Amino acid sequence: MSVIPNACQAELTELRREIDAIDQQVVDLLSKRQKQVEHVVALKKAHNLQVYHPSREEDLISARRQQARDAGLCPDFIEELYRIIMHRSRVEQTGQMALKAVKPGATVLIVGGTGEMGRYFVNWFSGAGYHVRSMGSKDWPNVAVLCDGIDLCIISVTIDRTAEIVKRIGPYLPKNAVLADVTSIKKVPLDAMLKSHPGPVVGLHPLFGPSTSSLDKQIVVATPGRDDDACRWVIEQFSLWGSIIVMSEADEHDEIMEFVQSLRHFATFAFGQFLAFKKVPLARTLEFSSPIYRLELGMVGRLFAQDAGLYAEIIFATPERRELLKDYINSLSKNLEMLEKGDKAEFKKEFKKINEWFGPFGEQAMRESSFLIDKLIERF
């Protein structure tokens, strides 16, 4: 690399000064934009309009893409920027909306409200202006007072204690109060709730943890129990917070979660376990890592940075789950012979069969993960 002549250095400095001036204007415009968006939110809030307006967003994106083309910019680049700008504006709008209650004046009791997830719900419901009561394991002497006049009781305790707590609290609930749980299995708790409480019942499974700061596009599975009409406001409250509600029967939910939670977390656990057992040189390995490997290893490291007890509950929740995991371990052994023989043809045959089974999801996964890899490269 050559030494920079003074004239060139001066020109470079001047160009950078001009770029900074442009950037200043951009930030000022984004600040003006935010103020206009705040007006929109105020209007929407006053008229109970929903925050997310997909067709308006797509129109806006199309207009910006066309404008980018006209201005000689890459349309994908501008779309990417505007996706972030709109997401930010949606999160802020949802944040405002979080302050709104679907059933104003209602009283909510969170059983297990002193746990991490319990405190999380206490915050959300309080933020929306509900009267919120929190009940911990030491509050049983006051249970009658705590349950008096409530409109909703949410059970937020560990999987293994849910059925017992439901049974115990049932007799104290007002007949018209909604009883809901937020456990990650649904059949057992739902049955317990229906048995313990003759009023409205709904099972909820929020697919996110207490570190999630926005509910925007986060999924809540709802399994109907009894009197759906009376339960509707609870579900609508989650919608208002930005969540996507997936309706399901408890059986279907539990079957799918065997894979989505139990199997996946166990496979990740076992992979990390093997890396630790082999004492893989982690730091050096990362230096050799393409962004995608870094991401995959990150998924493993991420698991172990979380709560061991939570994952024990998820993995060991039901005998069915444990059977599935044993199947998984045994299924891997099928590959021992192929590896022993170095049988590439067999591998390719199997690979193609699985590819066919995945169908169009493979292409979609390629696209989504490539997008994320670009993000990783940008950021880290």
According to CB under 8 A, which residues from 284 to 343 bind a copy of itself? Answer: 284-302, 304-306, 308-309, 311-313, 315-316, 319, 322, 324-329, 331-333, 335-336, 339-340, 342
Nearest Cα residue to 324 out of 254, 221, 247, 250: 254
Question: Least distance in Å: CB of 180 to a copy of itself?
Answer: 18
Nearer to a copy of itself, 140 or 259 (CB): 259
Question: Least distance in Å: CB of 20 to a copy of itself?
Answer: 7
Interhelix angle 75-97/54-70, nearest 10 degrees: 150
Kindly identify the residues of this chain, within the stretch 188-247, that bind a copy of itself according to CB under 8 A.
Answer: 207-208, 211, 216-219, 221, 246
Nearer to a copy of itself, 140 or 358 (CB): 358
125's tokens: 């419901």
Give how far Cα 135 sits from Cα of 45, 146, 155, 297, Å: 32, 8, 10, 39
Nearer to a copy of itself, 79 or 139 (CB): 79
Token pair 């399901």 in the structure block, residue: 248
Query: Candidates 38-46, 131-139, 169-177, 187-195 — which segment interacts with a copy of itself by CB under 8 A?
Result: 38-46
Nearer to a copy of itself, 99 or 145 (CB): 99
| Residue among 6, 32, 234, 237 that touches a copy of itself (CB under 8 A) | 32
Question: Least distance in Å: CB of 178 to a copy of itself?
Answer: 21
Query: Candidates 60-68, 113-121, 143-151, 179-187 — which segment interacts with a copy of itself by CB under 8 A?
Result: 60-68
Cβ-count burial of 162 within 10 angstroms (0-12 exposed, 13-18 middle, 19+ buried)? buried
Contact call for residues 37 and 92 (beta carbons, < 8 A): yes
Which x/- pattern over 252-281 shows residues binding a copy of itself (rule: CB under 8 A)?
A: xx--xx-xx--xx-xxxxxxxxxxxxxxxx
What is the radius of gyration, based on Cα positions, of the chain?
26
Contact call for residues 154 and 109 (beta carbons, < 8 A): yes
Token pair 């066919």 in the structure block, residue: 356
Q: Which secondary structure element, helix H or strand E, spans residue 72, and what is its range?
A: none
Detail the DSSP E strand segments found in the chain: 107-111, 131-135, 152-155, 178-181, 201-206, 219-226, 244-247
CA distance 192 to 243: 26
Question: Least distance in Å: CB of 43 to a copy of itself?
Answer: 6
Kindly identify the residues of this chain, within the stretch 109-168, that bind a copy of itself according to CB under 8 A.
Answer: none
How far apart, in Å, do the first and last CA atoms of the chain sit?
26
| Residue among 45, 57, 87, 227 that touches a copy of itself (CB under 8 A) | 87
Query: Candidates 35-43, 112-120, 142-150, 186-194 — which segment interacts with a copy of itself by CB under 8 A?
Result: 35-43
Query: Candidates 75-83, 107-115, 161-169, 225-233 — which segment interacts with a copy of itself by CB under 8 A?
Result: 75-83
| Residue among 6, 25, 105, 229 that touches a copy of itself (CB under 8 A) | 25
Count Cα neighbours of 66 within 13 Å in the Cβ-side half-sphere: 6
- The site for a copy of itself, by CB under 8 A, has a size of 164
What is the per-residue DSSP string for 327-342? HHHHHHHTTHHHHHHT
Query: Candidates 30-38, 147-155, 172-180, 186-194 — which segment interacts with a copy of itself by CB under 8 A?
Result: 30-38
DSSP H helical segments within 98-227, as ranges?
116-127, 143-147, 159-169, 187-196
Nearer to a copy of itself, 31 or 105 (CB): 31
Kindly identify the residues of this chain, within the stretch 338-377, that bind a copy of itself according to CB under 8 A.
Answer: 339-340, 342, 344, 347-348, 350-355, 357-359, 361-366, 368-372, 375-377
| Residue among 88, 142, 149, 176 that touches a copy of itself (CB under 8 A) | 88
Contact call for residues 151 and 173 (beta carbons, < 8 A): no
Q: Is 82 in the site for a copy of itself (CB under 8 A)?
A: yes
Nearer to a copy of itself, 9 or 176 (CB): 9
- Would you give the distance in Å from CA 30 to the centre of its chain? 28
Pairing of β 178-181 and β 152-155 = parallel
